[in-house]
Amino acid sequence: MHSRQRGVLYAVFATTGFSALTLQVVWQRVISLHAGVDLFSVTTVVAAFLAGLGVGSLVGGVLADRLGPRRSLLAFAASNAGIGAFAWLSLWLFYDVYRAAVPHLEGTMAAFAFHFALLIVPTTLMGVSLPLVTRGLVDRVDDAGPLVGRLYAANSLGAGLGAGVSGWILIGSLGFVGVVRLAGALNLLAAVCVLTLWRTATKAPAGDAPVSALAAEAAGAGAGGRAWPWFVVYGLTGAVALGLEIVFFRLVDALMRSNSYTFGHVLALYLLLFGAGAAVASRFVGRARRPDRWFLGLQFGVGVLALLGPLVLLEVPKRLGIDGPLTSHFAIDGYNVGGYRFDSLQEILRVGFVHLFGPLLLMGAPVLAMGASFPFVQRLVAERVDTLGRRTGQLLLANIAGNVVGTLLVGFVLLDRLGSSGTLRLLAALLVLPGLAAAAMGPPGWRRPALGAGALALLLGMVAVFPSNFRLWAFFHSAPTNDFALAEDRACVNALKKVEGDDFLFINATSQNGYPFDDFHILVGLLPALLHPDPQRAMAVGLGIGATPYGMSRDPRLGHLDVVEICGGEIDLLRVLARRGAVEMDRLLTDPRVDIHVGDGRKFLLSADQPFDVLTVDVVRPQSAFSGNLYSVEFYELLRSRLAADGLVAQWIATPRVLNSASEVFPYVTRFSVASYDGSQFMVLSRQPLVFDREVLLARFGAIERSVAFTPAQSASIRQFLSTVDAGRVSLLRHIPEEGLNRDLAPRDEYFLNNTANVQIRG
């Protein structure tokens, strides 16, 4: 190909990266509707996705060498056409077919096998891309490092844009269906463009081009000219890279105060940085005489830089004399696109720090180094043009296999055992090994051991001075270490912090509710239990600080209560409060009628085999990640299907769309306003007319008062509420357009919460 054709191919490959990450973001989100958002479910989906990419890389490498350059381009066009066609059918498969299969999936291995079966076709087609394009583009082995590096950079940069644009703009504007169709159309367009290139590309030369002296030196630079050690090394560093990505995401998520845009934002920055590193390195990899030392040195640099960013973030405020942690000056507690008015320098600085400077400081330099290492290792394994596809596929397979191992090891083991700080220190410390290997390849004599000793001292010294997990998270919560409790687990960072004298629960550095319990959260659980004539079986989606389950469990008529909480560390924090003298926590945790399950609430409901008399859903703010799973019309349909004929559901009315969506499903909706909690409202949903008999309610509450379940002041406040509250029924006469509803495949509140000015409200 001449330079203009190569430029078109780079643009096409960037477009396929954009499409691939857009599809990944949407597919993973849609699958979560039935698989759940607990770590087991998310990790099995990611592992299945990566496994498919690995299979595709291997298959693509074999095909590329058999087909040759021109037919490899034709196969690449066919793979994009296949991805585009699959995309248009994918939501039916991932949503409707999955929903039918959920009751039959038991255990992690069964879930992984099903996810793998769902994803194997599109991910294999994605995985074959780079080996096929590599074989179609490169006609001289000397060019393998630079050209493949540029391809990888273009694809990564396109993928970064896809993750960012889909997360920030497309999903909120088009919904999941529209985004998937757009991505599929881009793949079909890419297929057409590649077919045009295929028709005009010149026929490849019959034999392999001569290998330059520099390329020959590079090929023999490491491991005696053998390629397999570099596959092993790249696989191991791939495991470290994905482990670091998980930790980076957790830290940036806390910095951004955990919202719907965090995942796409972090993934976009990560891929853009990775692609930029690969693009820069591809410009001079062809001139490097020792790509092996460059590759190993860059991996050592990843370890050093991964520790340096958080250290700077923690230590610089002290040196600048800033009063309190830096995050307390810039934190944003809940927001959505369109929610900013840049009317002050402080606002500009705050948003810039949270979205750009802070994340770049935490992960920018190490991710650039990760991306820069790819062209060098690609050059190390490139031997001949006629085996280039296979070598590229094997290299990608090794890296992806490492990614899977790193994801599983960090997600299931290290975060539980070591926390974020310990995991980061361990992963960084492992990268001292490539640093020592690079030093061993350095100049002979005394300088070689000196370089090795210096590398060892630098990285292990940084590991030693890196803050403990407790100190790290106290900083991100803007909390003094003497007034802070932490329980980090694989799913969440759970913390307790004093706020104006009360103990407040924080999840991923975002405030939830506090202790002593407020009336509102107590009543969300207590009132539906009191309203029900005989509440034998109940369920609470979400534990939180424990107020809602506690309110429900105080009714002595209640037979059994299942509480499902995705953040298992919350249970440990409630035990901390119980040891401090919080009697309510001790009662809740020791009540034989109460079972607390760690998992996804919607997933628990999908597999429930008996109806519930009372259900409460009091879990997340509407702008939180995955909140759309719990505020959609389809979720209310699931609640209704798991409810007994006379059962009741209680939930906070978070937005007008939440009320509308519940009213779309339940024929009877009653609103209650709690004056002592700034007039916040919750609703009680039922399939039959709600009987609101004030005298009966007060009599049932009297039995609870005699058990001293509440303090005298709170007991009087709740009695006042029951004596004076008006039950406001919602009218169902007015039709609400789709813009006023949340759907599983169009979670409008989650992505455009501020866009509610014209939303009609039933009532």
pTM: predicted TM-score of the whole model, two decimal places? 0.87
Q: Which pLDDT score is estimated for 146?
A: 81
Are 238 and 292 members of one domain?
Answer: yes
Q: Which pLDDT score is estimated for 350?
A: 63
Identify which has the larger pLDDT, 70 or 238.
238
Determine the 3-state secondary structure of 325 from DSSP. coil
Are 166 and 299 members of one domain?
Answer: no
Q: Over pLDDT 70: what percentage of the chain?
A: 88
* Residue 390 belongs to a domain: yes
Are 162 and 228 members of one domain?
Answer: no
First-to-last CA distance in the chain?
A: 66
Please name the residues in contact with 346: beta carbons below 8 A apart, sequence gap of 6 or more.
none
Is pLDDT at 522 greater than 70 in this prediction?
Answer: yes
Q: Which pLDDT score is estimated for 342?
A: 46
Q: Which pLDDT score is estimated for 757?
A: 46
Q: Write the pLDDT tens digit of every residue in 621-671.
A: 887 888 899 999 999 999 999 999 999 999 999 999 999 999 999 999 999
List Cα–Cα distances, 122 to 27, 82, 199, 398, in angstroms: 11, 8, 26, 20
As a whole number of angstroms, the distance between CA 462 and CA 301 comes to 12
| The dihedral formed by the CA atoms of 20, 23, 27 and 30, expressed in degrees to the nearest 10 | 160
Burial 738-754 (b: 16+ CB within 10 A, else e): eebbbbbbbbbbbbbbe
* Residue 638 belongs to a domain: yes
CA-based diameter of the chain, in Å?
95
Among 495, 435, 443, 453, CA closest to 471: 495
Exposed, middle or buried: residue 96 (CB in 10 Å: 0-12, 13-18, 19+)? exposed
Among 170, 162, 15, 34, CA closest to 91: 34
Q: Write the pLDDT tens digit of every residue in 665-707.
A: 999 999 999 988 888 999 999 999 988 889 999 999 999 988 8
* Residue 761 belongs to a domain: no
Is pLDDT at 111 greater than 80 in this prediction?
Answer: no
Are 198 and 221 members of one domain?
Answer: no
Whether the Cβ atoms of residue 600 and residue 543 lie closer than 8 Å to each other: no
β-bridge partners, 459: none
Among 99, 69, 35, 15, CA closest to 204: 69
As a whole number of angstroms, the distance between CA 539 and CA 648 comes to 11
CATH value at residue 573: 3.40.50.150
Whether the Cβ atoms of residue 756 and residue 735 lie closer than 8 Å to each other: no
* Residue 759 belongs to a domain: no
> What number is the average pLDDT over the span 568-580?
95
Q: Which pLDDT score is estimated for 318?
A: 67
Q: Write the pLDDT tens digit of every residue in 243-269.
A: 999 999 899 888 877 778 888 888 899
As a whole number of angstroms, the distance between CA 529 and CA 556 comes to 10
Among 427, 442, 457, CA closest to 297: 442
As a whole number of angstroms, the distance between CA 513 and CA 550 comes to 14
As a whole number of angstroms, the distance between CA 511 and CA 621 comes to 10
Task: Tally the C-alpha atoms within 13 A of residue 81's C-alpha that lie toward its C-beta.
Answer: 11
Q: Which pLDDT score is estimated for 140?
A: 73
Q: Write the pLDDT tens digit of every residue in 165-215.
A: 988 888 888 889 999 999 999 999 999 999 888 877 655 444 444 445 445
Q: Which pLDDT score is estimated for 638?
A: 95
β-bridge partners, 514: 504
Q: Which pLDDT score is estimated for 14?
A: 93
> What number is the average pLDDT over the span 699-726?
91
DSSP 555: -
Whether the Cβ atoms of residue 133 and residue 70 lie closer than 8 Å to each other: no
Are 495 and 547 members of one domain?
Answer: no
Whether the Cβ atoms of residue 145 and residue 287 lie closer than 8 Å to each other: no
Is pLDDT at 324 greater than 60 in this prediction?
Answer: no
Q: Which pLDDT score is estimated for 734?
A: 61
β-bridge partners, 485: 496
Where a domain ends, among 510, 527, 557?
A: 510
Are 1 and 113 members of one domain?
Answer: yes
SS (H, E, C) 121-183: HHHHHHHCHHHHHHHHHCCCHHHHHHHHHHHHHHHHHHHHHHHHHHHHHHHHHHHHHHHHHHH
Residue 624 identity (one-letter amino acid): S
Q: Which pLDDT score is estimated for 582?
A: 94
- Could you please report the per-residue DSSP string of 277-305? HHHHHHHHGGG-S-HHHHHHHHHHHHHHH
Q: Which residue segment(s) compose the domain that 38 sits in?
A: 1-203
pLDDT confidence of 478, banded at 50, 70, 90?
Answer: confident
Is pLDDT at 565 greater than 80 in this prediction?
Answer: yes
Are 184 and 234 members of one domain?
Answer: no
CATH value at residue 28: 1.20.1250.20
Exposed, middle or buried: residue 5 (CB in 10 Å: 0-12, 13-18, 19+)? middle
Least confident segment among 283-292, 296-305, 619-628: 619-628
Identify which has the larger pLDDT, 350 or 542.
542
Whether the Cβ atoms of residue 221 and residue 292 lie closer than 8 Å to each other: yes
Is pLDDT at 19 greater than 60 in this prediction?
Answer: yes
> What number is the average pLDDT over the span 81-99?
91
Q: Which pLDDT score is estimated for 223?
A: 46
As a whole number of angstroms, the distance between CA 510 and CA 260 comes to 13
Least confident segment among 54-63, 104-113, 629-638: 104-113
Identify which has the larger pLDDT, 397 or 226.
397
Are 275 and 364 members of one domain?
Answer: yes
DSSP 497: E
* Residue 762 belongs to a domain: no
Are 228 and 155 members of one domain?
Answer: no
Backbone angles phi, psi at 549, to 5 degrees: -60, -35
CATH value at residue 465: 1.20.1250
Where a domain ends, among 478, 500, 529?
A: 478
Q: Are strands 493-499 and 502-507 parallel, antiparallel or unpaired?
A: antiparallel
Is pLDDT at 591 greater than 60 in this prediction?
Answer: yes
pLDDT confidence of 320, banded at 50, 70, 90?
Answer: low
* Residue 763 belongs to a domain: no
Whether the Cβ atoms of residue 279 and residue 149 lie closer than 8 Å to each other: yes
Among 175, 177, 185, CA closest to 18: 185
As a whole number of angstroms, the distance between CA 658 and CA 741 comes to 7
Q: Which pLDDT score is estimated for 755?
A: 52
Least confident segment among 487-491, 605-609, 732-736: 732-736
Are 456 and 563 members of one domain?
Answer: no
Identify which has the larger pLDDT, 69 or 486.
486
Angle between helices 712-724 and 519-531 (to 10 degrees): 60
Are 69 and 153 members of one domain?
Answer: yes
Q: Write the pLDDT tens digit of every residue in 368-412.
A: 999 999 999 988 988 777 787 888 889 989 999 999 899 889 988
Least confident segment among 75-89, 219-233, 575-589, 704-718: 219-233
Least confident segment among 186-190, 321-325, 542-546: 321-325
pLDDT confidence of 340, banded at 50, 70, 90?
Answer: very low
Residue with tokens 């769309």: 657
Identify which has the larger pLDDT, 763 or 576.
576
| Count of all residues that appear for the chain in the document | 763
Q: Write the pLDDT tens digit of every residue in 130-171.
A: 888 888 887 777 777 788 888 889 999 999 999 989 888 888
Where a domain ends, among 203, 228, 259?
A: 203
As a whole number of angstroms, the distance between CA 569 and CA 526 comes to 24
Whether the Cβ atoms of residue 223 and residue 391 lie closer than 8 Å to each other: no
For the chain, how big is the Rg over CA atoms in Å? 28
Give, for 672, the enclosing helix (H) or strand (E). Answer: strand 668-674
Determine the 3-state secondary structure of 377 from DSSP. helix
* Residue 378 belongs to a domain: yes
Are 639 and 579 members of one domain?
Answer: yes
Structure tokens at 251: 């830290």
Whether the Cβ atoms of residue 612 and residue 538 lie closer than 8 Å to each other: yes
Q: How many domains does the chain have?
A: 4
Q: Which pLDDT score is estimated for 386?
A: 74
Q: Which pLDDT score is estimated for 658?
A: 93
Q: Write the pLDDT tens digit of every residue in 411-455.
A: 889 999 999 999 999 999 999 999 999 888 877 777 788 888 999
* Residue 146 belongs to a domain: yes
Residue with tokens 């990944």: 24
